[in-house]
Chains A and B, each alone.
Chain A
Amino acid sequence: MSIAIKETQKMIEEVLDGYPEKTRKARAGHLAANDPSGECSTCKVKSNVKSRPGVMTVRGCAYAGAKGVVWGPVKDQITISHGPVGCGQYSWWARRNYYNGQTGIDTFGTMHITTDFQEKDIVYGGDKGLEAALNEVKELMPLARGIGILSECPVGLIGDDIEAVSKKVENEFGYPIVPVRCEGFRGVSQSLGHHIANDTIRDHVLGKGTMGESTPYDIALIGDYNIGGDAWASRKMLEEMGLRVIAQWTGDASVNELGIAQNAKLNLVHCYRSMNYICRHMEEKYGVPWVEFNFFGPTKIYQSIRKIASHFDDTIKENAEKMIEKYRPAMDAVIEQYRPKLEDKKVMLYVGGLRPRHTIGAYEDLGMEIIASGYEFGHDDDYNRTYPDMKEGAVIMDDATLYELEEFTRRLRPDMVGAGIKEKYSYHKMGVPFRQMHSWDYSGPYHGFDGFPVFARDMDMTVNSPTWNLIRRKR
């Protein structure tokens, strides 16, 4: 075992000492020193298990995964938060899944639509009200292409049969009414919500869309939620390569696109965590192969473009090379401008989905080093994809608590931290440069050739803002 690993393990032990014994044991399995070689048996973290009560986990719930992540961005579906008012209120247009359309008329993305449960709904059940609600939104929003019913905690606890209501109404309306059993108490994090949402796409919309002639270059872009326009930046590149993107899941997605992805020749998966399930299904049922890719930062972009092109004929392969050569000077210019200001800066990441590993390359393109990274709701397969990309002895953390993040920061002294809104302002108080890496801090896109310059600019302004130097620290 190397010195780097031993030192990190010692530091982790010290942090764990702050916990009560039972929780210490539980948390110990979720924190490790990275071993890229995979030889160290104790360097793998446990994941996708219940958070301990009382530790201040950063995690959300199944509803957040199903409504907030997967279904919410589907623009021409009316997404109903079924239950009390809060869940829909707090997730209202918080993820910036950009879309084109006229909101409230033919698209509904920035709206908060809820059955607003009252006590009577808990006592007598909410099914009757739900059916009436569906009829009311149908009348007021006649151009919707579907309705999703995203269940909140009470719905599952009181035993409502939203499936029966959906089935009945679907026959009357003639478009998909999708009951999604994503009550927040199910599972251990957002992750189960992604899975449940994938399954409902499979059961209610996949294969039911319409599209014209297929071409040999048809692909679907899966697991890109178009945060700050990410999917658009990626789509532009794929089209420039000569591919035809027939479906975009689910950023700026239409119900129809959810219904035709099985016609693709290849599924391209960006966020593996939230959408691998449906890709596996399309592979099994429709024989559509899928490939993971990474459009953060030029190094990973070039690799990914070639990897994607390798699934197609020489025309696409040539296009891919041409495109790389076309954009390389611009990417080099970005690096030339920003790398001197960011070289050797140490970064700590704690995010969700794909970012704890996918953004590593982009930081490294700018000369920055990732000294710690972790997932709110990752599984083993996420971590197995992460270990090789991290340096030996870097900290790997699963479902980190506020206490751990604070302690690691104190000990590792990162030059910047990338995490979420709940972490952001405690880092501001600590005077540690911070960037939200879920929402891009309201910037973006970060994907693709158009995204990397924005990413570089933003990391520079984060690390090098003169405001940090104004903080008068107590000695």
Chain B
Amino acid sequence: MKIKDHNELFLEPEYIEQFEKKKEFENPWPAEKVKEVAEWTKTLDYQEKNFARKNIKINPAKACQPLGSIFCSSGFEGSMPFVQGAQGCVAYFRSHLNRHFKEPMAAISTSMTEDAAVFGGLNNMLEGLRNAYTLYNPKMISVCTTCMAEVIGDDLNAYIRQAKDKGIIPDDLPVPFAHTPSFVGSHNTGYDNMMKGILTTITAGKKGEPNGKINIIPGFDTYTGNYREVKRLLKTMDVDFTLLSDVSDVFDSPNTGEYKMYPGGTPIDDAADSINATATIAMQKYSTTKTMNYIRKEWGQEAQALSPIGVKNTDTFFDEISRITGKPVPQEIEDERGRAVDAMVDSHPYVHGKRFALVGDPDHLLGLMSFIMEMGGIPVHIICTNGDKKFKKEADELLGENPFGQEGTVYPGKDMWHMRSLLFTDPVDLLIGNSYAKFLWRDTGTPLVRIGFPLFDRHHLHRYPIIGYQGVLNMVNWIVNTILDEMDRKTINTTSFDVIR
């Protein structure tokens, strides 16, 4: 039996006729008018107006603080993310992460409503802690806030203290917290605040003998493949390390016919001992700023952000790890580098001189720009909705010092509707962004490589690392084969439809 679902059904003539007839009631604009406006949106005139807007975002590429915060909390063993505020937010955060990872995601809301707006959220917090602790047996409850709790000024520290004083939760249960208003920063800020909150709480009183390890903080990194990759690489190097907020098993757990609410994560004791490490390396800078300052200042550790995306960045990453630990980079990793570079050499003719548009998070963009230029590609439009002045300066420097960076313009605070204008007025060969960039692909015909967050409309991409030399290989694969697919589509009716490329 041939069954037609929405993909085919609505192309049937009877539906096409239905849609035409329905217009009678829609008061539609004349087709010429729609065409005229559609054409106008492709012009420089429209772009100027589009870039002049200051009070509205259209298709922004950023999420809000508590999303980053609960993501960070999830990466510790037995840690339950707990959000003080209105309940819809938590439903949204969970759905968002579910859709990206295709994995379950537990998080608690205190379900604050109008009465909490008037009287404060203390009672919600107390009952919420009692229920969550009894029902879901966490080893740690990591508290953050929605904008509601922030606007009414809930005092998390005092509330948690009361919960412990009243015996609602055990006194020795770690309950780190972070204030995470959605009207400040983005998901990266929330990640940073929560990481700092968790480390502050669980390392309190733990300063002791140096443990000789290094700490790795991934940042708001939604590639489970990256976590597994960095662990593999450091093991290969024989480096003793603690990965702080290790979400790899949390958001990529084996199917055993059993649902585990806490399927992995950094053991709390290991995380508590991170204060005694030799140094801390963050794999993202812009989602760990406060945390790294805290580690430098309070723990007195060497702390630096090194994002190993692209060949040179990965080289630096290993050089620094090697310097800090005194362990040499083994031949096995050197061979991986060789294979990645070999792949780049093989594929360079299809990437060299190609012009790229990029949209995403600050650290991703810096890594991608660097990598693209290593391939001979040209970053042209770089949109970073949650980028700040510091990011702009760093990105401009990266472009400025590279002959392939001379056409690039970095736009912090802009969104994908700005990108739409840019892609019309100054077209490029390839677009890199998250799943929502597919609307840009549709409108402008620019082929899309999906790298970023969220990735909703393609499966399993997040399982493949974009860091390290293996990450280089994956990115070469996605980029060059997207270019070749597009080349096939364009040459389908010409003699250039080659079988060997």
Contact = CB atoms under 8 A, between A and B. Distances in A.
B131 interface: yes
A85 B57 contact: yes
A19 B135 contact: yes
Contacts of B132: 54-56
Given A87-B92, A445-B6, A121 B26 contact: no
Contacts of A130: 55
Contacts of B255: 428-429, 431, 471
Contact of A185 (B52, B114, B420): B114
Given A84-B64, A114-B57, A136-B56, A60 B88 contact: yes
A403 B135 contact: yes
Interface stretch (B120-128, B171-179, B286-294, B400-408): B120-128
A253 to B, nearest CB: 9
* Residue of B33, B58, B125 with most chain A CB atoms under a 10 A cut-off: B58
B184 interface: yes
Contacts of B182: 83-86, 117
Contact of A471 (B57, B181, B257): B257
Interface stretch (B105-113, B221-229, B344-352): B105-113
A86 to B, nearest CB: 3
A406 to B, nearest CB: 7
A122 B128 contact: no
Contact of B117 (A52, A185, A402, A454): A185
A20 to B, nearest CB: 5
A113 B113 CA distance: 26
Nearest to A22: B127
A454 B86 contact: no
Given A60-B91, A85-B186, A422-B95, A473 B256 contact: yes
A157 B148 CA distance: 8
A133 B55 contact: yes
B385 to A, nearest CB: 8
A18 B135 contact: yes
B147 to A, nearest CB: 5
A452 B213 CA distance: 60
A47 B113 CA distance: 16
A334 B103 CA distance: 33
Nearest to B56: A133
Contacts of A252: 22
Contact of B147 (A60, A154, A209, A233): A154
Given A57-B87, A84-B183, A119-B183, A333 B55 contact: no
A82 to B, nearest CB: 10
Interface string A108-129: 0011111111110110000001
A291 to B, nearest CB: 20
Given A92-B436, A154-B148, A115 B56 contact: yes
Contacts of A270: none
Given A53-B125, A136-B54, A61 B88 contact: yes
Given A51-B111, A471-B255, A152 B147 contact: yes
Interface stretch (B9-17, B239-247, B317-325, B493-501): B9-17
A424 B103 CA distance: 8
Contacts of B106: 56, 402
Contacts of B129: 54
Interface stretch (B34-42, B268-276, B475-483): B34-42
A203 to B, nearest CB: 20
Contacts of A115: 55-57
Nearest to B116: A185
Interface stretch (A254-262, A279-287, A295-303, A385-393): A254-262
A52 B255 CA distance: 31
**What interface size band does chain B fall in?**
35 or more
A132 B87 CA distance: 30
B150 to A, nearest CB: 8
B128 A104 contact: no
A196 B41 CA distance: 34
B304 interface: no
A112 B56 CA distance: 10
Contact of A210 (B27, B62, B94, B148): B27
B184 A119 contact: yes
Interface stretch (A138-146, A306-314, A353-361): A138-146
B102 interface: yes
A145 B131 contact: no
Contacts of B112: 53, 185
Interface in B120-159: 124-125, 127-132, 134-136, 146-148, 151-152
Interface in A65-111: 76, 80, 83-87, 89-94, 98, 100, 102-106, 110-111
B50 A106 contact: no
* Residue of B4, B52, B67, B439 with most chain A CB atoms under a 10 A cut-off: B439
A454 B19 CA distance: 21
A192 to B, nearest CB: 10
Interface residues of A, number: 125
B296 interface: no
Contact of A256 (B25, B85, B110, B183): B25
B489 interface: no
Interface in A437-475: 443-445, 450, 453-454, 457, 471-474
A133 B55 CA distance: 5
Contacts of A93: 436
A212 B27 CA distance: 11
A137 interface: yes
Contacts of A239: 18, 21
Contact of B22 (A19, A60, A248, A445): A248
B59 interface: yes
B111 A50 contact: yes
A232 B17 CA distance: 11
B89 interface: yes
A54 B92 contact: no
Contacts of B41: 104-105, 140
A422 B99 CA distance: 9
B1 interface: yes
B342 interface: no
A361 to B, nearest CB: 20
* Residue of B21, B88, B93 with most chain A CB atoms under a 10 A cut-off: B88
B15 A232 contact: yes
A397 interface: no
Given A62-B88, A89-B62, A424 B50 contact: no
Given A235-B18, A403-B135, A143 B127 contact: no
Contact of B27 (A185, A209, A228): A209
A247 B181 CA distance: 41
Given A23-B131, A102-B34, A185-B113, A91 B50 contact: no
Contacts of A76: 26
B131 A20 contact: yes
Interface in B75-103: 82, 85-89, 91-96, 98-99, 102-103
Interface in B328-376: none
A4 interface: no
B472 interface: no
Interface in B444-491: none
B209 interface: no
22 contacts: A19-B135, A20-B131, A56-B136, A57-B87, A64-B92, A84-B147, A85-B186, A90-B95, A119-B183, A122-B183, A137-B58, A154-B147, A184-B88, A187-B113, A229-B6, A236-B18, A247-B25, A425-B104, A429-B257, A429-B258, A450-B4, A471-B256
Given A58-B91, A64-B91, A103-B443, 14 more contacts: A53-B125, A54-B129, A56-B109, A84-B181, A90-B93, A105-B37, A140-B53, A185-B148, A209-B27, A232-B19, A245-B22, A421-B95, A422-B91, A445-B9
Q: Which 7 A-B pairs have the closest CB atoms?
A: A61-B88, A86-B64, A54-B128, A54-B131, A53-B128, A90-B92, A473-B257
